Structure formats: C-alpha cells, structure tokens
Amino acid sequence: MNDRALRYFLAVVRTGSVRAAAEVLHVAASAVSRQVIEMEAEIGQPLLERLPRGVVPTEAGRVVAEHAMRQADERLLLGDRLRRLQGLQEGTVRIRCGGGFVADLVENGLTGFSESYAGIAFTVTLGTTDGILAAVAQGDADIGMAYDPPAHPDVRSVVSARQPLLAVLPQDHPMQGTSAVPLGTFATEPAALLPDDHGVRRMLGRVEADGDFRLTPRLVTGSFDLHRRLLVAGLAIGFLPRFVIAAELRAGLLRTIPLREVSLTDVRSHLLIRSGRRLPEATRRLLDHLAQSMIAFQGVSSTHRTHIPHTECETR
C-alpha cells in the first residue's frame, strides 16, 4: 500500500464516495477507484461496502483508514521537524468549534498568538458538537472546542473548565440579586433561544420537562451574534455561558444571574485533540496558548488540564 493509495482511500472514507474524494483530490474518479480496487486485491478482502448513495468502510477498511491517518500524521510531523531545523515557525492549524467560541477565540486566542507566531496560519470551521467530535476523530481538524460534549473513544480532552449556563439579562432588567434562581423563574419572559437540535437547547429542554413548563421564545437562531444583539437591545433574555458574552459584560451592557439546576451549572467547555496523536509543533504551541488565554478555558472555579503531547514523546 503506497502513500498515494492510502491518501486516496482515506479521502474516500472521509467524503463517503469515490466521486467526492476525486473532487477533493483534484484527480479523475477512475484513478481513485483503481487505487481502491488494487488495495482490495492486495489485501484480499473488501475495504468498502458499496451502498446506493455512496460507500462506507468495512471492518478491514476502518483498520486501513486508521493506518492511513497515522501515516498522514507522520508526514505532517516530518515536514514540521524539517521546518524547525531551518529555524522556521510555519504551519497551518485546523480548528473546529461551536459558534459560541468564536468571539473568545479571535479576541483572546488567535490575536495574541499571531503576534508571536506570524508564520502560522489557521483555518476555522464552525460545527455542531457531533461534527466537532467527528472532525477531530477523523483527522479533519487538529483542535476542537466544544461545550459539554459526550465522551468519544477517539477524542481526548486536554483542557476542560467549568462554564455554567447563566441567565443573561439586559442591564435595565428589573430582576435584582446574584443568588441562583430556578430556570422556571424566567418561563414567561421573552427569550432568545438556540434551535432544538443544539446541545444548550437540549439542556434547557430537559429542565423544562422536569419542571413542567416551557420557556417563551422571542427569537430562535443558531447565531450567537444575533443573541448578543437582541440581549443588548433589551428585547429578550438569554441562557449562555459567560465566555460567549464576556465583552458585553465588561462593557456593562449585560448582566447575569446564576441558575439553580445542577445540570445547568456542572457544565464544562473542552479543548479536544485526537487520542494518541503526536502533535506538530504549531498545533501544540497554539493549544497551550488557547488553554492559557481563552476565557472559555479559565473556568468559574475549576479548570482541569491533562498533559498536552509534545511531538517527540506522545505515542499511541
């Protein structure tokens, strides 16, 4: 199995079809198909299950895909080490995160890092929690950021910080005090809410179901920028972690009240990498910087950090 065959096969697995892989690779679909057929002949068993609308890897295909991802990592590490031997600080780091992290990432994460490492570029892609986990696990993202993600066998959290969900109120809202209140306190207030398939909305929904009440939506949108604008305008209340509205809190445009439910307070934001991966130097340095500088990973009362793997010492 040569490098080209592995690269083509991995593209097929990631995209779900030979034609889509060929488009990503900028080659003919017949070239991709031929490489896969030759690999299957060499191994002596099918690597892909052909479905009416695409392909999925067989058990043997998953094993080969894992090997191909490790090979791709090794190629990145080789290039990274050669650049460092030349004294260069270059590279591209791929980040996948939820929309609530964007303001914090730009204002406190990438801005300060770019001043010290001008040669390092970034790609930032927004996604759902499931999409973030899948991208990190499949090698499509170097770093993931997620709020209250479920456990994933191929993804490791290297930093997590407690970031409770808070009631977010306009500055002139009549409710006073800083003591925690039940979510149901706000049942009749017009609220800015995330869509039903969003993790935060599901958290609120479980509390609503347990308490037999429903929040009153004024705006339902996945845009955190729209949330902030509506809250600052005094047109609704919201339910967000502090790091999403940190700038507005500093400016005195919004204020927060803690919520009483444990399921809404014992929530953590996470920095994620693929389990067992040896990180290129650019990724490792950025990961360490984000852990130190982003509000999302400082936490209200507790921050958990595990060893951030160095290129030379972390192995599967």
Distance CA 125, CA 163 (A): 22
Same fold, 89-159+269-305 and 165-265: yes
Q: What per-residue confidence (pLDDT) applies to 73?
A: 82
Q: E-assigned strands of 137-201?
A: 143-147, 155-162, 165-170, 190-193
List the chain pLDDT tens, one digit each, 316 residues. Answer: 688 888 888 899 989 999 999 998 899 989 999 999 998 888 888 999 888 888 899 999 889 988 888 888 888 878 777 776 555 466 789 999 999 999 999 999 998 888 888 778 899 999 999 999 999 998 889 999 999 999 999 999 999 999 999 999 998 888 877 789 999 999 999 999 999 989 999 999 999 999 999 999 999 999 999 999 999 999 999 999 999 999 999 999 999 999 999 999 999 999 999 998 888 878 888 999 999 999 999 876 555 666 565 543 333 2
User: What residue segments make up the domains of the chain, in order of their start?
Assistant: 3-69, 89-159+269-305, 165-265
CB 315 within 8 A of CB 278: yes
Alpha carbon 209 to chain centroid distance? Answer: 28
Q: Which residues pair with 184 in a beta bridge?
A: none
Distance CA 64, CA 76 (A): 19
The tokens for 12 are 């097929």
* CATH number given to 3-69: 1.10.10.10
Contacts of 167 (CB under 8 A, 6+ apart): 181, 183, 185, 186, 237, 238, 239, 256, 257, 258, 259
Distance CA 73, CA 239 (A): 39
Predicted confidence (pLDDT) per residue in 144-200, tens digit? 999 999 999 999 999 999 999 999 999 888 887 778 999 999 999 999 999 998 999
CB 69 within 8 A of CB 10: yes
Q: Which residues pair with 143 in a beta bridge?
A: 95
DSSP assignment letter at 140: S
Distance CA 108, CA 311 (A): 25
The tokens for 113 are 């890092």
CATH: 3.40.190.10, 3.30.365.10, 1.10.1050.10, 3.90.45.10. Which one for 89-159+269-305? Answer: 3.40.190.10
Distances (CA, A) of 44 to 41, 129, 214, 233, 314: 5, 37, 58, 65, 33
By residue count, the chain amounts to: 316
Distance CA 91, CA 122 (A): 8
- 209-216 contacts at long range (C-beta below 8 A, 24 or more positions apart): 211/182, 211/183, 211/184, 213/184, 213/187, 214/187, 215/183, 215/186, 215/187, 215/191, 216/187, 216/188, 216/189, 216/190, 216/191
Q: Domain 165-265 has what CATH class?
A: alpha beta
Of 145, 109, 139, 108, the C-alpha closest to 127 is 145
CB 140 within 8 A of CB 15: no
pTM of structure: 0.73
